[in-house]
Structure 1
Amino acid sequence: MEKLNSIIFYNIDKAIRSYRNYAQRQLKANGFTITIDQWLIIKAILENPGITQNEIGDLVFKDNASVTRIIELLVKSEYIIRNQNPDDRRKTNLEVTESGKEIIQKVQNLVEENRKLALEGVSKEELEIMNNALLKISKNCLNPKK
């Protein structure tokens, strides 16, 4: 029987969880009250004007309930605002506030430092191979041939 640490998907998940935990600890240690997930959602809204909550969930790998909860917190923190969609009153448009843009900018340097530390000792060639392999895995799972 194979051991856990020889299973590629176990190691991918372990690496992602290790990185997220490290990044969250770094945010806290540097005085930020924002979470990794909140940062991701603000970035998603900034980079995709008019994005829906369902689309945000798909983009950041969160279920609808989690996205709704995070958005509520971001509204309370005044990092984003909700505006009623003029074309469809059932929908709301999400917009990043100035303080939301500021927190993204302030956290950006720390995010880059975190990535640099996490990728220490990994060559550009290794990163390229790994990235290509991960993209192939995603494609295989999203578009199975069976």
Structure 2
Amino acid sequence: MEKLDSIIFYNIDKAIRAYRNYAQRQLKLHGFTITIDQWLIIKAILENPEITQNEIGNLVFKDNASVTRIIDLLVKSEYVIRTVHANDRRKTHLEVTESGLKIIKDVQKIVEDNRKIALEGISKEDLQIMNNVLLKISENTINTKK
């Protein structure tokens, strides 16, 4: 029987969890109260101004309840403004505030440093191969009928 550490998907999940835990610790160490998930959602809104909450969930791999909870916290922290959509009352319009823009900018250097540390000793060629392999795994398993 194969050991856990020889299973590629176990190692992918382990790496992701280790990185996220490290990144969150770094934010806290630098005095930020924002979470990685909150940062991701602000970034998603900034990069996609008309994005819906459902689309945010798909983009950041979170269920609707989690996205709603995180957006509620972002609104309470005054990083995001939520208003009823002008053309469809069932939808909401999300907009990043000035303080939301500031937190994204302030956290960016830490994010870049985290990535640099996590990728230390890995060649650009290896990163490209890994990225291609991960994209192929996604392609093989998303929307498959098997």
**Does 2:115 align with 1:126?**
no
If the length of structure 1 is used for normalisation, what is the TM-score? 0.98
4+ residue runs over 2 A deviation:
143-146
Any idea what SS the aligned residue of 1:39 has?
helix
**Deviation of the 1:145 alpha carbon:** 6.3
Q: Distance in 2 between matches of 1:145 and 1:121?
A: 39
CA RMSD, aligned part only?
A: 0.8
Any idea what SS the aligned residue of 1:95 has?
strand
Q: Which residue of structure 1 aligns with residue 39 of structure 2?
A: 39
Any idea what SS the aligned residue of 1:94 has?
strand
Q: Is 83-92 or 54-63 further displaced after alignment?
A: 83-92
Aligned positions, number = 146
Q: Distance in 2 between matches of 1:100 and 1:18?
A: 26
Q: Distance in 1 between matches of 2:48 and 2:38?
A: 15
Q: Distance in 1 between matches of 2:69 and 2:8?
A: 32
Q: Distance in 1 between matches of 2:81 and 2:89?
A: 16
If the length of structure 2 is used for normalisation, what is the TM-score? 0.98
Any idea what SS the aligned residue of 1:81 has?
strand
Q: Which residue of structure 1 aligns with residue 27 of structure 2?
A: 27
Amino acid at match of 2:117: L
Unaligned runs of 5+ in 2: none
Q: Distance in 2 between matches of 1:89 and 1:133?
A: 42
Q: Is 79-88 or 110-119 further displaced after alignment?
A: 79-88
Q: Which residue of structure 2 aligns with residue 90 of structure 1?
A: 90
Q: Which residue of structure 2 aligns with residue 59 of structure 1?
A: 59
Q: Which residue of structure 2 aligns with residue 110 of structure 1?
A: 110
Q: Distance in 1 between matches of 2:142 and 2:24?
A: 29
